[in-house]
Amino acid sequence: MAMQKLGRGLVGRIARLIDFRVDDRTRGLAERVNNLEHATADHRRRLDNAEHSLEQARGDLRWTRAELDRLIPHVAAQEGRLETLRESMSLVPKADSAEMAEARTLIEEIQRQHAQIRVRLAGISRYEDRLRRLEDRVEEPVSQ
């Protein structure tokens, strides 16, 4: 009887020692799993933000392309009008100074508008380039 009691006590101690060591190891594993879950949640949140930003950039790019498509015919028309005016000025044999001054004023106005349109198109081009680079930067981490 005493041997059985001693044996049960010894077995109980060994079981507690094993349980303690297993609990100690699984506690570290549980901590690692918890950290990985938090990291995964953070990565998901960051990926969702990147996808949202990318979708906004795509929308902006579509709007910019539509605006560019809308402006191109106007620029072509302005260039055509400017060329027509240049040709008509070179073909006109003589005009009085008032007509020449008005023609020069018209040419200067067309040139000014043409310069403004070029500035706008250059701005749109830079904006599209920035959007493209942003898209490229956002797509790189997703594909890796």
Instruction: Tell which phi-psi region holds residue 96, choosing left (phi > 0), alpha (psi between -120 and 50) or beta.
Output: beta
* pLDDT at 94 (0 to 100): 64
Predicted TM-score (pTM) of this structure: 0.40
| CA–CA separation, 90 and 28 (whole Å) | 89
121: which residues sit within 8 A by CB, 6+ positions away? 68, 71, 75
* pLDDT at 37 (0 to 100): 92
Domain coordinates in residue numbering, the chain: 2-143
* Sequential pLDDT tens for the chain (144 residues): 666 776 777 777 777 767 666 666 676 777 888 899 999 999 999 999 999 999 999 999 999 999 988 998 888 888 888 888 887 776 655 667 788 888 889 999 999 999 999 999 988 888 888 888 888 888 776 554
| CA–CA separation, 132 and 65 (whole Å) | 12
| CA–CA separation, 38 and 21 (whole Å) | 26
* pLDDT at 47 (0 to 100): 94
To the nearest 10°, report the CA torsion of 76, 77, 78, 83: 90
Give the CA angle between residues 48, 131, 58 to the nearest 5°. 55
